[in-house]
Structure 1
Amino acid sequence: MAIGKLFIGKSVRELRLSRKWNQAQFAERLGISTSYLNQIESNNRPVSATVLLGLVDKFQLQLSGIAGGEGDRLLSAFSEALSDPLFETVSPTVQDIKLVVQNAPGIAHGLILAHQAYRRSTEQLAGIDQELAKGMTEATPYEEVRDYFHFIDNYVHDLDVAAERLASELGLSEHPLGALKRELQARGIAVRHCVDDGSLRSFDAVSSTLFLNKHSPPQTQQFQMAVQLAQTAFGGAIDAIVGAAGFRTVEASEICKIGLQNYFAGALLMPYCEFADAAASLRHDVELLALQFRTSIEQVCHRLSTLQRPGRKGVPMFFARIDRAGNITKRHSATKLQFARFGAACPVWNVHQAFEAQGRILRQMAETPDGGKYLSLALQVTKRSGGFRGQAITYALAFGCEMSNAEAFVYADDLLETAKPVFEPIGVSCRICERTRCPSRAWPPMKGRIDIDHHQRMTVPYEIR
């Protein structure tokens, strides 16, 4: 999707506030009038090319984040909602949708929530059991928290900085397991190993003892100790973040606390600047990063998707975790590629093939219907607990970037040398995909008429007009 006029008031305002300048001071250094700056920050006027170059040259504004980030995620979700036949008579233009997202994001968020409620109530009327359907006209607590992290760019600044500072104080880079254990003991918490009862971590508040599953790998044990540190030392900060988020239910607040504790643990084990530098120097080789930071590959992939610190952003990436049934259990994208909010992911996407290629990282050059081109990487991960009779959980990880950033990935070297690269056509999900001739289509798009020719049978038993 081509980018027209740039309304980047939020980015400009954050840039000014990060330097603790008022509008007059910032406008003077930028060489524009205070009134013009005020109009830019209020999204009443687009930023000109001259001003944009000044922001990049004088204040190191990152161009990679201007057309991406929250705007693209909100634009994708808003467009998907408006693709519902419910809005067939409205048919807003792309420019209309972009203007709402840029100038009135609150309205876009509100319509998305309303559309979610509409879809759930429609599903209830379609025959969902009455008892199971109670409360489904609102987003579930899990979905509410998922969307919270999605729209804050999967980056929590205060926790990230605090974790980085603590990692430096503890010297985690040498022996993270020992350093974390000593820090917990210094805070009055004993660390013990327990017989496998299915739990990864169990804390006894009475005796101030943290019990870890002795069969868990070191990466899991140190992550759970980091989670315990988040609860013990940063519980107040996490409570403040959750309170400011304004969740509708207690359940959502509690789920978000878990997410923030896990976020802190990842940021502690993989401190921002050190990890970002290593990612760049190792060219995003997730296996080497996992070895260097003594973490799992999933932890590395997840951390790569959080490198969104203002003024120090990493390569914009997408990341998802998918189970064998096609459910997306984790998802985030700092690129223009967005994941479906309803229905399964595109069957042509290489993440589904990862289950057939254990131990290998699959590569795919993919193109979406809007012309976006991506490097998509996928691999299967299996987590085991206990011995032969222990439970094994298998899922696939998908991560990657836009092809314009593919040179930063070791996985793209020979692909970029191809004279005429071949991109596989993928979509977000069948329900909104524009491709009419895809042989892998699972069901018709919500918009589009179906024609059936009883005298001819193609792979898909209907034509889409």
Structure 2
Amino acid sequence: MTRIAIGRRIRESRMDAGVTQTDLAKAIGISPSYLNLIEHDKRLIGGALLKRIAGALDTPLAVLSGANDAPLASEVAELARSLSFRGLDEAAASRFTGQYPDWANAFVQLHRRYRDATETALALSDRLSQDPALMELSHAVLTQISAIRSFAEIMEQYPDLEPAERERFCGIIADQSDRLGSSAREMIALLDGARNAPTPTSPQSEVDDFIHHCDNHLPRLEEAADALRARLETSIEMLPAAIENRLVRTHGLTIRRGRANIDRRDVRRHDLVLLDEEALDATHRFQLARTLADLELGDVTEELVADDRLTSDESRDIARRAMANYAAGALLFPYDAFHDEAEATRYDIDRLAQRFGGSFEQIAHRLVTLRRPDAQGVPFAFLRADPAGNISKPFSIAGLRMPRLGGACPLWAVYAAQATPDRTVSQLAEMPSGEQFLFIARSQSKRAPVYGRAQARFSVMLGCDVVYGERVVYFDSYASGRASLATPVGFNCRSCPRSACAQRAQAAIISAPTPPGGAPPAAPRMDEAEAGGPESREQSRKQGLASTART
């Protein structure tokens, strides 16, 4: 990250203190001309000189150095990239933050509010289409509005209605209006909990929201995992053996390998770790690491799950399992070593798996957590899908929303990977609005193939903005920029406007699909009926009354 420009801050602090350039230069032992160059950011300034300036102006060193603004500048640069402001690089973000820290913070806060509002709107849209109660109320509201409109149009178009007939229609309109008001109140009551934020519909949704709030990075667990690894006093290569040894010698556990489903009584024993003999070695290592994290990092986990966002015992239990998995990844894949190796290999997942002994999914999970401000990795979104298209573990990034309800676009690489098991698939995906993302996916099983036993397979996908393409090895195939290399996709069928897509499974919500059997005929307008003379007018009137009564 380019250093924060601090000359302007020194100048403003000096002027606020009522000190001239000459006096300050004399106090710190430099010439006024050199101080002038510093204040205009024409000269770099060392730590010792900056300390003398801060002391002479009686100003905190952090205020002049902008040390607290480095993460802010990094976030400004990240937002500029996510919004495709390609002309704004990290140096420009640093200058902006250094000169106008309050404005930079306002920019970040404004974008966060925009993102929250967008996520709320998307969540409410998902809920309207998935919640049976809301779907039923939406249908009732539309039906009642149609009835009111139809009868009102009849009364407007046919002033010669008999008094009894007019009174009957007025009664119908009043009744439908009452029903419309009741339906609207019920819908508002259901949505009232989502006024400030969408209310999760399940404990898993609460945990997903909690993880998103933490940006999938938990410094407390990172520090605790580092301390635990230091106590093991071993290298990365020997770490799995050291973990198993500590479980046996320190915690008195017995580790057995066998078929995990043959003796459930053994599985429930607290002094036994039963490793499925059909599972892969990477799964065994991760299970042992998670067991050790449960035993030795439980206090940290309990502090994290005490968050107010987790409102039920079930959601806290799910969060505990998620924290244990996170801690296991942090233990097996040390942040600094893993981050450095990821950058050196340009995020080659296979090479990272070979170096650290993890599976594709474990490595992908760890890549998503590289969000420490002073050593950030490429920001990845994450998604997992089974062969039926069921989505799990969604984690979104700016501009790339992973679906929580329903499925993703069937053209995404996460589904294409299922056709080529155990082979990494990449894709340059272009959204309807023109944004492009790099998708990396693989379909794998967590168990070795055994004759006569069904394999549980999952496809795992990472996604990042193409602005990070040069840092990722999988982008090399698309570096030429040819339009033919990009695959036109959407987020899901409901929100995608690509009408010519051969994979469309559902109508887009922006269209107005015709109900099965065709829509009932609308009440005729007087100018259309008059064209056919008195007979046509009377016939049209009867048809309109009959169709409206059916509605």
SS at match of 1:384: coil
Shift of 1:71: 6.5
Query: What corresponds to 1:441 in structure 2?
Result: 504
1:164 to 226, 242, 249: 226
Query: What corresponds to 2:545 in structure 1?
Result: none
Query: What corresponds to 1:151 in structure 2?
Result: 213
Cα 1:83–1:242 change in 2 (3 A) is closer
Shift of 1:434: 3.0
Cα 1:139–1:434 change in 2 (3 A) is same
1:288 to 338, 346, 351: 351
Letter in 2 for 1:439: A
Query: What corresponds to 1:99 in structure 2?
Result: none
Query: What corresponds to 1:256 in structure 2?
Result: 319
For the Cα contact (< 8 Å) 2:278–2:447, is it kept in 1?
no
SS at match of 2:337: helix
Shift of 1:319: 1.5
Letter in 1 for 2:291: Q
1:74 to 83, 100, 116: 116
Structure 1: distance between partners of 2:111 and 2:230 = 29
**Structure holding more helix per residue:** 2
Query: What corresponds to 1:222 in structure 2?
Result: 285
Deviations 1:384-427 (A, max 9, x none): 26832334111211113111111111122132035555322211
Structure 1: distance between partners of 2:246 and 2:356 = 18
Deviates most, 274-283 or 355-364:
355-364
1:57-68 matched pairs, under 5 angstroms:
none
Cα 1:287–1:162 change in 2 (3 A) is same
Deviations 1:93-125 (A, max 9, x none): xxxxxxxxxxxxxxxxxxxxxx57993533587
Deviations 1:190-228 (A, max 9, x none): 2321431338994633xx333323333221111111111
1:347-386 matched pairs, under 5 angstroms:
347-384=410-447
1:142 to 197, 204, 212: 204
Shift of 1:29: 4.0
Structure 2, unaligned stretches of length 5 or more?
A: 1-58, 68-75, 77-90, 140-198, 518-551
For the Cα contact (< 8 Å) 1:270–1:303, is it kept in 2?
yes
2:134 to 113, 117, 122: 122
For the Cα contact (< 8 Å) 1:321–1:328, is it kept in 2?
yes
Shift of 1:57: 10
Cα 1:51–1:427 change in 2 (3 A) is closer
Shift of 1:268: 0.6
Shift of 1:229: 1.1
Cα 1:446–1:185 change in 2 (3 A) is same
Query: What corresponds to 2:536 in structure 1?
Result: none
For the Cα contact (< 8 Å) 1:160–1:264, is it kept in 2?
yes
For the Cα contact (< 8 Å) 2:260–2:275, is it kept in 1?
no
Letter in 2 for 1:319: F
Structure 2: distance between partners of 1:196 and 1:70 = 48
TM-score w.r.t. length of structure 2:
0.60
Shift of 1:70: 6.7
1:309 aligns with 2:408: no
Structure 2: distance between partners of 1:216 and 1:335 = 35
Deviations 1:413-460 (A, max 9, x none): 1320355553222111112223333332211222332479x9xxxxxx
1:150-229 matched pairs, under 5 angstroms:
150-170=212-232, 171-198=234-261, 202=267, 204-205=269-270, 208-229=271-292
Letter in 2 for 1:273: D
Structure 2: distance between partners of 1:50 and 1:216 = 50
1:416 aligns with 2:479: yes
Question: Kindly, what percent of the aligned residue pairs are identical?
Answer: 29
Letter in 2 for 1:307: L
For the Cα contact (< 8 Å) 2:280–2:446, is it kept in 1?
no
For the Cα contact (< 8 Å) 1:430–1:442, is it kept in 2?
yes
Q: How many residue pairs get matched?
A: 372
Structure ID, larger Rg: 2
For the Cα contact (< 8 Å) 2:200–2:206, is it kept in 1?
no
Structure with more contact order per residue of length (Cα contacts < 8 Å, sep ≥ 6): 1
Letter in 2 for 1:150: H
SS at match of 1:392: coil
Deviates most, 339-348 or 263-272:
339-348
1:267 aligns with 2:279: no
Query: What corresponds to 1:9 in structure 2?
Result: none
Shift of 1:28: 4.5
For the Cα contact (< 8 Å) 2:210–2:310, is it kept in 1?
no
Shift of 1:308: 0.9
For the Cα contact (< 8 Å) 1:375–1:406, is it kept in 2?
yes
For the Cα contact (< 8 Å) 1:191–1:212, is it kept in 2?
no
Cα 1:83–1:145 change in 2 (3 A) is closer
Structure 1: distance between partners of 2:401 and 2:418 = 22
SS at match of 1:204: coil
Query: What corresponds to 1:300 in structure 2?
Result: 363
Deviations 1:243-297 (A, max 9, x none): 1244221111111100100110011111111101111101111111101001111
Letter in 2 for 1:332: F
Structure 1, unaligned stretches of length 5 or more?
A: 1-22, 32-39, 41-48, 85-114, 128-136, 455-465
Shift of 1:68: 12
